[in-house]
Structure 1
Amino acid sequence: MTQDTLYRYLFDNADVRGELVQLQDTYQNILSTHEYPQVLQQLIGELVAATSLLTATLKFEGDIGIQLQGNGPVSMAVVNANHQQELRGVARWDGELADDASLEQLFGQGYMVITLTPTHGERYQGVVALDKPNLAACLEEYFAQSEQLPTAIWLFTSASHAAGIMLQVLPSETDENTMFEHLCQLTATIKADEILHLDAEEVLHRLYHQEQVRLFDPVAVSFKCTCSRERSANAIRTIEQSEINEIVNDIGYVELGCEYCNSQYRFDAIDVAGIYSNHSAPNVQ
């Protein structure tokens, strides 16, 4: 299987578009930053695949984030991506989690926030409850509420791979519900072993060999964190200098860590003085 790629495709005989994403390295890089319980690894895999699928629908340059929140043992799980299919993610939890825990058992009274942030333009947020059996169904509800376009999503994970498929009716003046339902029935026949381990072209052939499918060039998907020393310095600058100086006087430095990638950014007394006087972060490591 070709690693970490997203394919977009259209059906020539129907106003329906499709996407297929298969991930390994991106998924594993996100998991490697924390020792996540098994059920949370699976959820993160689904969330990573889903975010990649939604990113491919963006009509602008910018970012997208899918965040799950609740009052259960998992307080938060989030994956962020940009229009270049660069993803990062993290989750927070407390205590032991059962391997077969449901969304409700993980998040309690939870909800999903999808945030679209164009590089130029206004930010948009959509919120739906986590009251469906799985993440895919919650995402389908989001599309039903926000875009009002029939959408179907399938998400798959294993210990090493994550994958997903999305079908969506394109805006048109014709009624495509019958054809959409037919294509959904075909797509639902896919098995986890197939989509997780076969090449995308083979998966699509098995699903739609009797349909007229137009396949576009694959897009690479990768893990990339947006943290930096400069951003950490900017975060420090939002705090009163006296508070930062007190920390530096006690232990010799102030250190900020990134939850997403575990990078650590340390600033000593000279660095801190430069942050508040020059409004720039020294390059000292």
Structure 2
Amino acid sequence: MDILIKALALDNQIRVYITKTKTVYEEAHKLHKLSANSGLVLSKVLSTAVLMGGTLKGDQSLTIKLNGKGPIGNVVVDTNSYGILRGYVDNPNVVLPNNKISESLTLGVNGNIDIIKDLELKNLFVSTVPLTYPLIQDNFMDYYINSEQIITFLGLSNLEAPGGIMVQLLPGYTENVLIYIQEKLEEIYNIDKLFLKYNDLNEILKYLFPDFKIIEEIKPTFKCDCNKQRFKNGIISLGTQEIEAIINEDGVAETVCNYCNKKYKFSKLELQEILKISREKKNE
């Protein structure tokens, strides 16, 4: 079962987030028919989103967008504090020469990571950092230190056991805590080995941080909240000329949700109604 565990450890000087995302990945794979390389990248970003979502509160949400100029194109994942997430990639069928499996060659290392957080404040929190490291986890650790000034250690597992772990130092941490974590870094960075060894995340936490205390547990779920009204609003935003062109040239319109591939069709009558709304908005 997929789960996100939030915990405190090392005399409450670190925050730990650990998750299994096997079912989340399987749902994404079913919807997008992912190749091994595209699946590896999206799986790791989905796991990262679950971990980052664990830092949110209330109705807060965030969007992660990566583009390293690699063959997969954009990788986009939305999530919220409740563990509900959705995601897609531009190219779900990346196949590398000689059937090589490589997240860095699939994603690329010459682009950006965009993080957009809705923290229920007046303005969105928007941050862009370079995507330059071969491993996804290294890029997000770089994001945390440069954009949020939080020392963060992140380990993301492969498709054998999708999931990850994120450890963050809290203000006032001691040197002994930092030394202890540094001694555990190899296992944190290669968390997939512990996922394969232990079935229970509590056992992993007990092994890494014996004094851990669970704060909260959440069940991550891949779920898209798209609906026809949203796509109707999108067509309205095209403007009257574009809508008229669609009516005259095609007579109908079909939209597809990037996140879940669900299709929404609009008849000529519906498009004429949308055109009427667009004209009224233009005259306001």
TM over 0.5: yes
- Corresponding residue of 1:201: 202
Q: 1:148 to 1:40 in 2, by over 3 A?
A: same
Mapped pair 1:153 → 2:154:
yes
Shift of 1:14: 4.5
- Corresponding residue of 1:112: 113
- Corresponding residue of 1:226: 225
Residue by residue, what CA displacement relative to the aligned partner does 1:237-274 show, whole Å, maximum 9, x if unpaired?
01233433443444441111111101111111221222
RMSD: 2.4
Aligned residues of 1:69 and 1:76 also touching (Cα < 8 A): yes
Aligned residues of 1:103 and 1:130 also touching (Cα < 8 A): no
- Corresponding residue of 2:234: 235
Higher helix share: 2
Q: 1:138 to 1:245 in 2, by over 3 A?
A: same
- Corresponding residue of 1:169: 169
Q: Separation in 2 of the partners of 1:163 and 1:135?
A: 13
Aligned residues of 1:37 and 1:97 also touching (Cα < 8 A): no
- Corresponding residue of 1:53: 51
Runs of 4+ in structure 1 off by over 6 angstroms are none
Shift of 1:27: 1.3
Shift of 1:59: 4.4
Q: Percent identity?
A: 24
Q: Separation in 1 of the partners of 2:48 and 2:145?
A: 16
Shift of 1:198: 0.8
- Corresponding residue of 2:281: none
- Corresponding residue of 2:129: 128
1:43 to 41, 55, 77: 41
Q: Separation in 1 of the partners of 2:256 and 2:103?
A: 31
Structure 2 residue matching 1:74: 3-state secondary structure: coil
Q: Separation in 2 of the partners of 1:136 and 1:113?
A: 15
Shift of 1:87: 0.6
Q: 1:207 to 1:187 in 2, by over 3 A?
A: farther
| Runs of at least 5 residues in structure 1 that lack an aligned partner in the other structure | 280-285
Scaled by the length of structure 2, what TM-score is found? 0.86
Q: Separation in 1 of the partners of 2:121 and 2:148?
A: 21
- Corresponding residue of 2:101: 100
Aligned residues of 2:240 and 2:275 also touching (Cα < 8 A): yes
- Corresponding residue of 2:258: 259
| Runs of at least 5 residues in structure 2 that lack an aligned partner in the other structure | 279-284
Q: 1:82 to 1:139 in 2, by over 3 A?
A: same
- Corresponding residue of 1:86: 84
Structure 2 residue matching 1:133: 3-state secondary structure: coil
Aligned residues of 1:16 and 1:168 also touching (Cα < 8 A): yes
